[in-house]
Structure 1
Amino acid sequence: MTKKVLAGFLVGGAAAFGAWQALSADKKKQIKQAVADKTHDAVDYATDYAINALDLADGMVQDVKEQAVDKFGDKFSDLAGSVKKGADTVKKSADQAVNHFTNDDFDEQTAQIREELAKAQSDTSSQDDIVIDKTTDASDEDNDAASQDDHSSSSDQD
């Protein structure tokens, strides 16, 4: 079958070539023009079809978008607002951190802290602290209780 199809193409091509060569120049020009016109018409038709299909698809997408906005518009806008607010907060925090490390004078702050600590230490050195030691009271009570037990047991033995 393949050989017959190939033979048919060869015979048909040879016949078409022979017929083309037999035509006059004016007739060849008319055929070329007709083929060019049909090709141009086919390309125009295909382009129009593609444009119409794209318009329909765009219209359908737009309809779906409008329905989604109508249905979920408030939620999307709230979500977008929340995301924007969070992004602004993060940006503000980042800017503060950058400003802190780039613009603050750490030497001056350190000197101020040292002065405050020195002043606080000199103020407390003149005051006596009250020390409450719970362990010494407990051991004194234990000693008092033990001595009372010794006195009572010695009086019982007599």
Structure 2
Amino acid sequence: MNSIEQLSQQLGELLLEHKQILVTAESCTGGGVANAITEIAGSSAWFDRAFVTYSNEAKQEMIGVKSETLSEFGAVSEPVVIQMVQGALKNSNATIGVSISGIAGPSGGSKEKPVGTVCFAWADKSDWLKVETQHFAGDRSAVRTQAVLHALEMIKQYLS
């Protein structure tokens, strides 16, 4: 079992123990977190749904990200991932969520937001909110894999 599978299994056990249901809102990972979770047998007991909101339109239509926030800060920003996780929680039966938006590359980066920049937000129905930006190294696949691992690890840490 690889580290993503092990982490997903451990996270599932913690979500069950804490009676939490997870939702994801993903952009640059394209559903990678949801895929990792649903590889685990029985995940329907602790995983509600995933929103893969790759385009700005999808972010707005599916989970209520405001166009003004996208215009002011860009899709890869902490204000956007906050609205993504809040919208995912609002539009699901979940009690805890994670959102991810980033620049996996090989193009799309800038001086301010280079390739490998990934913003995360985690929140739950009890008003816990954690937001951060990470800078991952490597090619597109490596950036996406590191983002999935980080998203899962931070929920696991919160629940531990």
Q: Which has the higher helix share?
A: 1
Structure ranking higher on relative contact order (CA contacts 8 Å, 6+ apart): 2
| TM-score greater than 0.5 by the shorter chain | no
Larger radius of gyration: 1
Q: TM-score, normalised by structure 2?
A: 0.14
Q: Which has the higher strand share?
A: 2
